[in-house]
Amino acid sequence: MSSTEQPSAPTNFIRNRIRQEVAEGRYQRVITRFPPEPNGYLHIGHAKSIVLNFAMAEEFAGYTNLRFDDTNPEREEQRYIDAIREDVAWLGYRWENECYASDYFETLYEYALHLIDQGLAYVDSQDAETIRIQRGTLTEPGTDSPFRARSGEENRDLYERMRAGEFPDGAHVLRARIDMASPNINLRDPVIYRIRHQAHPRTGDAWCIYPSYDFAHGQSDAIEHITHSLCTLEFEDHRPLYDWLVEHLPVPSRPHQIEFARLNIDFTVLSKRRLTRLVEEGHVDGWDDPRMPTLAGLRRRGFTPESIRNFCTEIGVTKSESVIPFGVLERNLRDDLNVRAPRRMAVLRPLKVVLTNFPEGEVEWLEAANHPQDPGQGNRQVPISREIWIEQDDFLEQAPRKFFRLKPGGEVRLRNAFIIRCDEVIKDAAGNVVELRCSFDPESRSGQPGADRKVKGTIHWVSAEHGVKAEVRLYDRLFRVPNPSADKEVDFVDHINPDSLETLNEAWLEPGLEKAAPDDFCQFERLGYFVPDPASRPDQPIFNRAVTLRDTWARLEQALKSG
RNA sequence: UGGGAUGUCGCCAAGUUGGUUAAGGCACGGGGUUUUGAUCCCCGCAUUCGCAGGUUCGAAUCCUGCCAUCCCAGCCA
């Protein structure tokens, strides 16, 4: 199976519903939209929505629009628009139209006038606090605003003057006249236009009144002939309002809103508000910090678009709220990279080994497969010399029973090379192991007749003479607890894991790796998948660890320790 | 205590116009292959569908009641 192939998509209630509708002839094709507000970066939760929207449109012969829901100029910025476009494209999707709710401001303004003329909207001249009190509570109905009975002419006049800029922020709002006693609070005369003397990233100073989400969204859907407006569960209560507006306005089509559960992943936060705080308060190094669950962060961490799409498909779409273990995301990356990533050798925490019977000054070039299961990836030549680096973890003076790596007097195979035996352990004054003296068995060299001699373990290495020094960054979960936002009494930033980033400054890479580019992912054998950081330079390579390999030994070791 | 929604194996999730033994994936356990303790390959893994009643020849699927969890009182989206 190729990694880029999507696993057979599990069916879900939305697809089933659309299938049914198409079978009944209600739709010839499905048109969806992905509607981000440009006030932050996209995260993995958005990816779920993107994948769903594009998948439904593709399956049912339609297309998807990218629509920026830019109705609140106070928090929206052009840089977010740019970042969002880049992320959606990076994920591998091409939108049919790039739209902006702000493109429809004139039409929306007229729709509001239409409501006014129908007696279905009025200008309320009370302040926000008063309106809030009049809205009632969850258990008590609201009370009518004294302005609810304003005449059509007066409403029209006031609304036109709101647009003309005659009033300061907050002086008036336009409200839909629905039902102040509705058990659904969204129907208690929701505000649909407010005054904001605020420049907009796209319309500049053309407007000083802006439509609310509820007034803009459904109408934008209708204008674009969106058939299915997919959104998250918290908008379920808004559907009656969505429907009410679309039914009372002269819109060109009749879209339908369907809600699904948003994505939750443990040990992270997936809300723009919180992610924004992490960035603005400097808890992380920007929106693309590799520990961030943003698409930009995951990309820098080394995630592939394929792995993210596969993940989104695998988790399914339902209305029940669930929490996906972060490990599921990681496994999808491994599954993808396992079949694609070229194998390389790198030593993260070096321990010097001198091969005592290896001629001084000599270099041997060994043939190494770039991928053990995919001969098509070819081979490369790796140099070895008298002194090499091995991983500190791969030597233990007091080795437990099932430790298959190097120990005093023991043998181990050097990956792609030969078997060595540890003859001597050199320590410093403090008793730390600083060097090993080993002898190698020339007969066991790869390709030689003696190569099939079995030893328990195989370890990776890098020639000391040829190795390239590099910085390697290891990432761990950003939070220490499964649900950082669970406790209302505790600020989620207090749960940040102080050890989420470990920087190793003395790693050694096999030669050639220093020239890798940020999208040249590879597997450091036995360690994990790594990718050069965008700041990496040939003379100063920096690699990020995207994910470790599955490590049953670590688990076993852990189990042994805990009894 | 109003309204809206959800509850199927440790985590996801099919199935819900009632009908043989409740899909699949992940995780987990066991075995095999292996110059990555990786990958890969086999095998195992819910007499039970939030709980309690009821209807029925037959219910995860229908009815009643209860319980748990989530969302809603922004001129945010």
- Complex confidence, ipTM: 0.96
Indicate whether A418 belongs to any domain.
yes
Q: What is the pLDDT of residue A10?
A: 76
| CB-to-strand B under 7 Å, chain A 140-169 | 169
B25 C1' – A228 CA distance, angstroms? 28
A469 in active site: no
My answer on whether A293 and A145 are in the same domain is: no
B17 C1' – A17 CA distance, angstroms? 14
Q: Does the nearest atom of strand B lie within 7 Å of A195's Cβ?
A: yes
Q: Would you state the structure tokens that stand for residue A184, as one six-digit string?
A: 């659904």
Contact assessment for residue A108 and residue A219, using Cβ atoms and an 8 Å cutoff: yes
My answer on whether A202 and A119 are in the same domain is: yes
From A184, A174, A172, A170, select the one nearest A115 (Cα to Cα): A174
Q: How far apart are CA A164 and CA A171, in angstroms?
A: 13
Q: Does the nearest atom of strand B lie within 7 Å of A549's Cβ?
A: yes
Indicate whether A32 belongs to any domain.
no
Indicate whether A522 belongs to any domain.
yes
Q: What is the pTM of this model?
A: 0.96
Indicate whether A426 belongs to any domain.
yes
Backbone CA torsion sign across A298, A51, A306, A519: negative
Q: What is the pLDDT of residue A39?
A: 98
Exposed e or buried b per residue across A82-108, where buried means at least 16 C-beta atoms within 10 angstroms of its C-beta: ebbbebbebbebebeeebbbbbbbebb
Which residue's C-alpha is at the least distance from the C1' of B34?
A372
Q: Which residue of the set A272, A291, A301, A413 is catalytic?
A: A272
What does the pLDDT profile of chain A (563 residues) look like in tens digits?
333 334 456 799 999 999 999 999 999 999 999 999 999 999 999 999 999 999 999 999 999 999 999 999 999 999 999 999 999 999 999 999 999 999 999 999 999 999 999 999 999 999 999 999 999 999 999 999 999 999 999 999 999 999 999 999 999 999 999 999 999 999 999 999 999 999 999 999 999 999 999 999 999 999 999 999 999 999 999 999 999 999 999 999 999 999 999 999 999 999 999 999 999 999 999 999 999 999 999 999 999 999 999 999 999 999 999 999 999 999 999 999 999 999 999 999 999 999 999 999 999 999 999 999 999 999 999 999 999 999 999 999 999 989 999 999 999 999 999 999 999 999 999 999 999 999 999 999 988 888 889 999 999 999 999 999 999 999 999 999 999 999 888 999 999 999 999 999 999 999 999 999 999 999 999 999 999 999 999 999 999 999 999 999 998 888 777 75
β-strand pairing of A343-344 with A522-524: parallel
Q: Does the nearest atom of strand B lie within 7 Å of A399's Cβ?
A: no
My answer on whether A510 and A444 are in the same domain is: no
Indicate whether A118 belongs to any domain.
yes
Residues paired with A23 in a beta bridge: none
Nearest nucleotide (CA of A393 to C1'): B37
B4 C1' – A159 CA distance, angstroms? 32
Q: Does the nearest atom of strand B lie within 7 Å of A213's Cβ?
A: yes
CATH number of the domain enclosing A155? 3.90.800.10
My answer on whether A362 and A455 are in the same domain is: yes
Amino acid at A349: R
Q: Does the nearest atom of strand B lie within 7 Å of A323's Cβ?
A: yes
Which burial class, exposed, middle or buried, applies to A289 when counting CB atoms under 10 A from its CB (0-12, 13-18, 19+)? Answer: buried
Indicate whether A122 belongs to any domain.
yes
Last residue of a domain, one of A460, A488, A510: A460
B50 C1' – A31 CA distance, angstroms? 37
Q: What is the pLDDT of residue A338?
A: 98
| CB-to-strand B under 7 Å, chain A 368-387 | 371-373
Q: Which residue of the set A148, A156, A262, A349 is catalytic?
A: A262
Which residue's C-alpha is at the least distance from the C1' of B13?
A316
Q: How far apart are CA A397 and CA A428, in angstroms?
A: 14
Tracing tokens 């409501």 back to the chain, one arrives at A115
My answer on whether A413 and A479 are in the same domain is: no
Phi, psi for A22 (deg, rounded to 5)? -70, -40
**Total domain count, chain A:** 3
B76 C1' – A72 CA distance, angstroms? 8
My answer on whether A396 and A417 are in the same domain is: yes
A67 in active site: no
Q: How far apart are CA A19 and CA A474, in angstroms?
A: 45
Q: What is the DSSP letter of A124?
A: E
A272 in active site: yes
My answer on whether A386 and A328 are in the same domain is: no
Angle at A238 between CA A20 and CA A486, to 5 degrees: 105
My answer on whether A439 and A500 are in the same domain is: no
From A526, A527, A532, select the one nearest A513 (Cα to Cα): A532
CATH number of the domain enclosing A325? 2.40.240.10
My answer on whether A450 and A498 are in the same domain is: no
Amino acid at A414: L
Contact assessment for residue A344 and residue A460, using Cβ atoms and an 8 Å cutoff: no
My answer on whether A118 and A203 are in the same domain is: yes
B41 C1' – A417 CA distance, angstroms? 27
B26 C1' – A314 CA distance, angstroms? 9
Report the 10 Å Cβ neighbour count for A413. 20
- Nucleotides on chain B within 7 angstroms of protein Cβ: 1-8, 11-16, 23-29, 34-40, 69-77
From A49, A32, A51, A30, select the one nearest A99 (Cα to Cα): A32
Show the domain range for A110.
105-214
Q: What is the pLDDT of residue A8?
A: 56
| Residues A179, A194, A124, A138, Cα dihedral to 10° | 40
| CB-to-strand B under 7 Å, chain A 453-482 | 454, 457-458
Q: How far apart are CA A195 and CA A188, in angstroms?
A: 20
Q: What is the pLDDT of residue A9?
A: 66
Q: What is the pLDDT of residue A563?
A: 58
Q: Does the nearest atom of strand B lie within 7 Å of A72's Cβ?
A: yes
Nearest nucleotide (CA of A175 to C1'): B75
Report the 10 Å Cβ neighbour count for A401. 5
From A45, A518, A536, A84, select the one nearest A302 (Cα to Cα): A518
Q: Does the nearest atom of strand B lie within 7 Å of A322's Cβ?
A: yes
My answer on whether A470 and A557 are in the same domain is: yes
Last residue of a domain, one of A214, A246, A280: A214
B56 C1' – A16 CA distance, angstroms? 29
Q: What is the pLDDT of residue A557?
A: 85
Last residue of a domain, one of A154, A183, A214: A214
| CB-to-strand B under 7 Å, chain A 223-282 | 233-238, 261
Q: Does the nearest atom of strand B lie within 7 Å of A20's Cβ?
A: no
Indicate whether A256 belongs to any domain.
no
β-strand pairing of A542-548 with A379-384: unpaired
Q: Which residue of the set A37, A154, A314, A465 is catalytic?
A: A37
Q: How far apart are CA A438 and CA A360, in angstroms?
A: 14
Which residue's C-alpha is at the least distance from the C1' of B23?
A10
Contact assessment for residue A451 and residue A492, using Cβ atoms and an 8 Å cutoff: no
B41 C1' – A340 CA distance, angstroms? 20
Indicate whether A180 belongs to any domain.
yes
Nearest nucleotide (CA of A71 to C1'): B77
My answer on whether A378 and A411 are in the same domain is: yes
Nearest nucleotide (CA of A401 to C1'): B37
Phi, psi for A414 (deg, rounded to 5)? -90, 125
Q: Where are the alpha helices (DSSP H) in A281-415?
A: 295-301, 305-315, 326-340
Q: Does the nearest atom of strand B lie within 7 Å of A413's Cβ?
A: yes
